Amino acid sequence: MSSTVDSLPAPGRSSVPALLKSGNILPASAWLFFVFNQAVNSPFPPSLSTALLVLINSVTIALFVIRRDATRVGSKAEMLIAVSAVLIVAFLKGPRAGDIHWLPTTIQVIALTGWAASLTTLGRSFGIVPADRGLVQHGPYRFVRHPIYAFEALFFLGFLMAAPTLRSGLIIAVLLTLQVVRILREERILTGYGEYRQQVRWRILPGVW
């Protein structure tokens, strides 16, 4: 195991419900602000993809609240990388509902549907900072090892098609770079990941990576 990983005692059964834990409530509250900021800064009326993205992030708040304790967590550097990948999205400005076309909208709706399915499958193992809350191997995780990142990348491809600006391109390029780093870091933390990697070969896109 890498020295960048801090080992924690196995959580077992906690006398404190997940709903009341500060480690769940605080990030959920921060994410609530993120969703609010996203909604306020989106053009009105919002596009379908923007509305669905706000919905996805609302689901994320619920997962923060109910997630289980981690048996291992990443380093402070990994936390900074993960938080940066989340915050940089707040600088994106989407198009108005009347300024988009069917192709980017279709791509984004497909991506958000897969994203939602992957989040639901991940369930209580959800987290932003690399941590071991249990290895999930069913649902979309039978086909690629990081389906949330895969669908997220597809969504932002559609976003860039809808808002093809230099600003959007630079932000999304930085975001995708950070996500690749997160993927590589996460794989060093999860217990049993070596066997899972033998069963599911591809990280994001079958036949490519």
Confidence class of residue 64 from pLDDT cuts 50, 70 and 90? confident
Q: Which residue has the higher pLDDT, 171 or 27?
A: 171
Q: Average pLDDT over the chain, rounded to whole? A: 79
Please tell me the class of the 17-199 domain.
Answer: mainly alpha
Q: How confident is the model at residue 13 (pLDDT cuts 50, 70, 90)?
A: very low
**Its pTM surpasses 0.85:** no
The pLDDT of residue 31 is 60
Which tops the pLDDT comparison, 156 or 38?
A: 156
**Above 60 in pLDDT, residue 143?**
yes
Sketch the domain layout of the chain as residue ranges. Answer: 17-199
pLDDT in the model for residue 23: 56
pLDDT digits (tens, 9 = 90+) for 19-44: 456 555 666 666 666 666 666 666 66
Kindly state the percentage of the chain with pLDDT values over 70: 73
- Checking if the pLDDT of 5 tops 70, the result is no
pLDDT tens for each residue of 94-142: 666 556 678 988 998 899 899 989 988 998 888 878 889 899 999 999 9
Query: Which pLDDT band, with edges at 50, 70 and 90, does 69 fall under?
Result: confident
pLDDT score at 204: 94
3-state secondary structure the chain: CCCCCEECCCCCCCCCCHHHCHHHHHHHHHHHHHHHHHHHHCCCCCCHHHHHHHHHHHHHHHHHHHCCCCCEECCHHHHHHHHHHHHHHHHCCCCCHHHCCHHHHHHHHHHHHHHHHHHHHHHHHCCCCCEECCCCCCHHHHCCCCHHHHHHHHHHHHHHHHCCCHHHHHHHHHHHHHHHHHHHHHCCCCCCHHHHHHHCCCCCCCCCC
pLDDT value at position 11?
43
